[in-house]
Amino acid sequence: MLTTLVAHGIATLAALASLQSSSTSSAPTLETKSPRTGLAARYTNDAELARDPAVLFASGFERVFEGWSRTNTNVCAIDTDATLAHSGGACLRITATRGVDTGGETTWKLAKGVDELYLRFYCRFAADACWPHHFVKVRALAPGWDGPAGVAPPGDKGFWTGIEPLRGAWRFYTYWHQMRGWNNPSDAVGPKGEPLNDDGTPNTGANDFYGNTFQPPEQPAIPRATWICVEAMVRAYVDVYDSLRARRS
């Protein structure tokens, strides 16, 4: 179940969701809609979007951090320069200062988990800003489990993916129970008899797990000093074959 949405460095965010059965027996079929007939088409510049019954949460930061679950106000501030804002008269500015901090975040948490979540946000990167390593994250965490970095999460404890503009290209930076670690042993050995991973790289013995990258190929470079609309969907479903194996073991 998707339970927590964490937004890093965004200007505005809107999310909507619909409930589905958790007993899906195969990989989901993605549904697409024309940009002219979808939810966004009904609300010019997102005006009154928050009133739509399909929307779980929407914020343009016009009322500062109202509705957000938690905000790091040491680095997050509301910019009321209407000429800079994407729409309306405000936007969120997050500043990372070299040698002082690594930026910060504002977080929104769902009151109840959902099986499918759509989100759209607008972002703008300053011409002189470095590309963020971590950016917008969607997380599903079991109560009491915080999802530490470097650990593959158990399937019943957590899953999360980050939407990240690393080095000027979009990617998904993802943790899940079958993710790959730094070392993935094989039977192969190197010229000196050293163990090799299944991709031919040396096996160092340490097998820390950090986010696996999924990156669309041949994408254009992310522009700077202009507003960008980013949309994503995350769906949770049960692999029926994994469930049957678990029951038999």
Q: How far is CA 238 from CA 1, 4, 12, 115, 161, in A?
A: 10, 19, 32, 10, 17
Which of 3-12, 20-29, 79-88 is the most confident on average?
A: 79-88
C-alpha to C-alpha distance for 94 and 10, rounded to whole angstroms: 8
At position 171, the amino acid (one-letter code) is R
Query: Among 77-91, 153-167, 229-243, which stretch is predicted with the lowest mean pLDDT?
Result: 229-243
Is position 196 within any domain?
no
Instruction: Give residue 10's pLDDT band: very low, low, confident or very high (50, 70, 90).
Output: very low
What SS3 state is found at 242?
helix
C-alpha to C-alpha distance for 10 and 21, rounded to whole angstroms: 31
Is position 192 within any domain?
no
Say if CB 152 and CB 13 are below 8 A apart. Answer: no
Instruction: Give residue 220's pLDDT band: very low, low, confident or very high (50, 70, 90).
Output: very high
Is position 22 within any domain?
yes
Task: Show the beta-strand stretches assigned E in the chain.
Answer: 2-7, 12-17, 55-59, 70-71, 76-79, 91-94, 106-114, 116-123, 136-141, 158-164, 171-175, 185-189, 195-197, 212-214, 228-235
Say if CB 93 and CB 78 are below 8 A apart. Answer: yes
Q: b/e map of 155-168 (b: 16 or more CB within 10 Å)?
A: eebbbbbbbbbbee
Q: How far apart are the first and last CA of the chain?
A: 24
Instruction: Give residue 171's pLDDT band: very low, low, confident or very high (50, 70, 90).
Output: very high
Question: In 10 A of CB 75, how many CB atoms?
Answer: 19
The better pLDDT of the pair 57, 20 is held by: 57
**196-219 confidence digits (pLDDT tens):** 888 788 887 777 888 999 998 889
Mean pLDDT, rounded, for 54-78: 92
C-alpha to C-alpha distance for 174 and 153, rounded to whole angstroms: 11
At position 232, the amino acid (one-letter code) is A
Is position 61 within any domain?
yes
Is position 188 within any domain?
no
Is position 202 within any domain?
no
Is position 104 within any domain?
yes
Is position 191 within any domain?
no
What SS3 state is found at 244?
helix
* pLDDT of res. 35: 55
Range of the domain at 111: 2-182+210-248
The candidate with the shortest Cα–Cα distance to 173, out of 139, 135, 213, is 213
**Number of structural domains the chain divides into:** 1
C-alpha to C-alpha distance for 235 and 54, rounded to whole angstroms: 16
**93-144 confidence digits (pLDDT tens):** 988 888 888 888 899 998 888 888 889 999 999 888 888 888 999 998 888 8
